Amino acid sequence: PPPPQQGFGPPPIPQHSKPQSPAPPAVPPNRPISNPPPPQNVTPPHHEKVYWLPSFDAHTPVSHNFRHELGDHGWGNNEKQNYTDNSANSFHHDNRLIVRGLVQNGSYTSARLTSHQTLSRPRGYLTATILPPSAEGVWPAYWLLPKDPFQWPNDGEVDICESWQGEGINHTCLHWGHYNAEDHNKHQVITTPLHDLAHRPHTYGFAWIEEEGIPNWRGRMIWYIDGRAVQRANIPHGIRRMEDFRILINIAMGGTVCKGVLPKDGYYDMVVSELKMCEEPMGGWAQFERDWGFAPEG
């Protein structure tokens, strides 16, 4: 029989690189109205102000932009895959980055990439067009953690494109606390059904603005899918500054999230294109303000 459907709560998260730590201070309940971004009375013709654009040319090594994290120790979630730096598991093709999970005769290999580049700015916009694999036992993710060394969950985690079990549902998440009654509200999750998630690439965006000079206030962030704001959140107190965060791209297999189900023999590709960091989101910061007014909170 098919496995039971995964609940919509926050997924278990690999603990290996995220040691436990004390809970951060409470999140400010309301956004102050002072110190908004500079007004933009006239919207100029949009031209992207890109400050990081990695090359996915076939002659550029994946290691030029990413570090390979390695191992088959379960990653705190009883996962099955062995993360390698083998070119069979991560490579460039047709100006795209391919992370490939390979399953053959009881062997499960994949890649877990972490970007050398950090967000590096107090405000900006990260975007990528991604076609993730979608199948039972497969858990692809495109997400953010602070650069090493860091403490989890104190320093925070941002999930942008995450799905599992072939369900056709994307999970956007903000994590900064434990899974217990006291910290239940420190895991904000929005689920977005995407009926064609397995067949058509979608563009996943994340905008952040860290505002200065406001007592007990950090700033805001908005997640986007295909230009539509799907989640908003205040930047919690206690997490690392946004410019310290880096990109992770990986495909996990089996484990708690997949209910112990393992993928069938074959290959499972996560295809990433148009990955870049920009100085502002589409439509500029004025559009960010409008999006903030209706985007849901997790």
Per DSSP, what are the bridge partners of residue 140?
251
Low-confidence winner among 135-144, 169-178, 202-211, 225-234 (lowest mean pLDDT): 169-178
Contact criterion met (CB below 8 Å) for 165 and 198: no
* Cα gap 136→260, rounded to integer Å: 10
Residue whose C-alpha is closest to residue 173's, from 231, 216, 215, 224: 231
Structural domains of the chain ordered from first start: 66-293 (2.60.120.200)
Residue 34 has pLDDT above 70, yes or no: no
* Residues 209-224 pLDDT 10s: 998 778 888 999 999 9
Contact criterion met (CB below 8 Å) for 262 and 107: no
Q: Residue 284: what are its φ and ψ, rounded to 5°?
A: 80, -175
Chain mean pLDDT for the chain: 83
pTM: 0.83
pLDDT category of residue 25 using cuts at 50, 70 and 90: very low
**Count helices and strands in the chain by DSSP H and E runs:** 1, 17
For residue 44, whether the previous peptide bond is cis, meaning omega lies within 30 degrees of 0, is: no
* Cα gap 234→221, rounded to integer Å: 6
Other beta carbons less than 10 A from residue 242's beta carbon: 25
* Residues 154-183 pLDDT 10s: 888 999 999 999 899 999 999 876 656 566
Q: What angle (nearest 5°) sits at the alpha carbon of residue 262, between those of residues 273 and 105?
A: 95
